[in-house]
Structure 1
Amino acid sequence: MIPLTRHQIAWRAAQDLQEGAYVNLGIGIPTLTASYVPSDREVIFHSENGVLGLGPKPRPGEEDEYLIDAGKNLTTLVTGGCYVHHADAFLMIRGGHLDVSLLGAFEVSVSGDLANWTTEDPSFPPGVGGAMDLAVGAREIRVLMEHTSKKGGPRILNRCSLPLTAPGVVKRIYTNLAVIDVTAAGLMVREMVPGLDLARLQTLTEPPLRLAPDCLELIAPALSPAPSPAEAVA
């Protein structure tokens, strides 16, 4: 079993974005997603720091030090994209104009509760950012995160141990091991990396898991770039 890299998690999430969708990219793994949307599909990416029409990561030599995403990573602007005032970026969020928000998380519960703004570690400052606005303003919340903590403990829990960003908002979870839907009947495993079975995945997940009848192998292309320190959050 070979877990996905962070870039591969972002690639997998990008494949589910629909043509013409307005999508916010949160700090962490989600900021990588704009680089992996299929070339024949138009997705309009939003960044809370005031960008509409966020593009993929810049190629070497084409960086603009004044153009960054919500995670302070260098980015690009697609043709027709624009900069907006920070307040206008939040009006787009609060006004219900975003179809999807892709967010990082520290923990997600069986009922879709989201905890992504603090670890309560004094050495790791909290950062609410726009997560609370996005959790209630975007039409759908999908989380991108590693399946377990650095200590190997589960991050998908019966009940979040960290302060909540919002209750019951997460609809789908993309991890380095699986794609899991949050449903009224519990957690449904849609895809798993080759070599992993449900029994093994269950040992890394606190709530009970159910296997979708049409569960697929989670196979991603080889993607070599390593994330920057800013991208490695959540």
Structure 2
Amino acid sequence: MAARAAAELHDGYYANLGIGIPTLVANHIAPDIDITLQSENGMLGLGPFPDEIDVDADIINAGKQTITELPRTSYCSSADSFGMIRGGHIQLSVLGAMEVAENGDLANWMVPGKMVKGPGGAMDLVAGVKRIIVLMDHVSKNGTPKFRKSCTLPLTGTNVVDMIISNLAVFERPDRQSPFVLRELAPGATREAIAALTEAHYLEELS
């Protein structure tokens, strides 16, 4: 999923990667593509996710995961960092999700009844970043579809998701007034399996 998302990053982009699998996107960026990765805690120019020998506990992203820096890395206050996000200066953000609705609604910040430290920067990201890609397993641990007709969990944002990359398929829509289209199947996945494991309405246009 991380490798597939990396293919959506284009030369000159400023991009933000969410915690978890989205962080691994940094390890799959093509060497001939010049991308600047941004983190909400005030780091501009993140390097790849570190191997064990490269871990530096003082260099972390917004999710408190250790990360590496580059020769051009710079640091700023959280206020300046969120100014970049809210000001529309970030072209793309890759986020995880618990649910995505067929109209692009996103739920990824809390499950009612479970402890949560706060919404983090996700609400700012989906409101201020130009393009939102979601990486997620196609179904939850109990087998419930995560691409749904409507979200059942508290929303992070309404009509904000542009692309979904799951472990089974890729869905995309050309604009936020259009339905999602099934573009790609993961190796071993079939149209029938996707249909059985997806609650949301979507169109098909496989490449």
Query: TM bucket by the smaller chain?
Result: over 0.9
Q: Corresponding residue for 1:174?
A: 165
Structure 2 Cα separation of the partners of residues 160 and 132 of structure 1: 16
Higher relative contact order (CA 8 A, sep 6+): 1
| Amino acid across the alignment from 1:68 | I
Size of the aligned set, in residue pairs, is 205
With normalisation by structure 1, the TM-score equals 0.84
Q: Is the 8 A contact 1:106 1:145 kept in 2?
A: yes
1:145 matched to 2:131: no
Structure 2 Cα separation of the partners of residues 121 and 146 of structure 1: 22
Q: Corresponding residue for 1:56?
A: 48
| Amino acid across the alignment from 1:208 | H
1:189 matched to 2:163: no
**Residues 127 and 146 of structure 1: is their aligned pair in 2 closer, same or farther, counting only changes over 3 Å?**
farther
Structure 1 Cα separation of the partners of residues 159 and 129 of structure 2: 13
Q: Any idea what SS the aligned residue of 1:23 has?
A: strand
Structure 2 Cα separation of the partners of residues 75 and 61 of structure 1: 12
Unaligned ranges ≥5, structure 2: none
Cα distance, 1:121 vs structure 2 = 3.1
**Residues 10 and 173 of structure 1: is their aligned pair in 2 closer, same or farther, counting only changes over 3 Å?**
same
Question: Aligned runs of 1:1-234 on 2, under 5 Å?
Answer: 9-122=1-114, 124-125=115-116, 127-182=118-173, 184-212=177-205, 215-216=206-207
Q: Any idea what SS the aligned residue of 1:205 has?
A: coil
| Amino acid across the alignment from 1:139 | K
With normalisation by structure 2, the TM-score equals 0.94
Structure 2 Cα separation of the partners of residues 144 and 195 of structure 1: 19
Q: Is the 8 A contact 1:100 1:142 kept in 2?
A: yes
Cα distance, 1:43 vs structure 2 = 0.9
Structure 1 Cα separation of the partners of residues 59 and 117 of structure 2: 24
Cα distance, 1:67 vs structure 2 = 0.2
Q: Is the 8 A contact 1:147 1:156 kept in 2?
A: yes
**Residues 28 and 127 of structure 1: is their aligned pair in 2 closer, same or farther, counting only changes over 3 Å?**
farther
Q: Is the 8 A contact 2:94 2:133 kept in 1?
A: yes
Structure 2 Cα separation of the partners of residues 156 and 60 of structure 1: 34
CA-based RMSD of the aligned residues comes to 1.4
Runs of 4+ in structure 1 off by over 4 angstroms are none
Structure 2 Cα separation of the partners of residues 85 and 126 of structure 1: 21
Q: Any idea what SS the aligned residue of 2:72 has?
A: strand
| Amino acid across the alignment from 2:103 | S
Q: Percent identity?
A: 45
Cα distance, 1:119 vs structure 2 = 1.2
Structure 2 Cα separation of the partners of residues 162 and 182 of structure 1: 23
Superimposed CA distance per residue, residues 3-29 of structure 1 (whole angstroms, 9 cap, x where no aligned partner): xxxxxx111100111111000111222
**Residues 60 and 68 of structure 1: is their aligned pair in 2 closer, same or farther, counting only changes over 3 Å?**
same
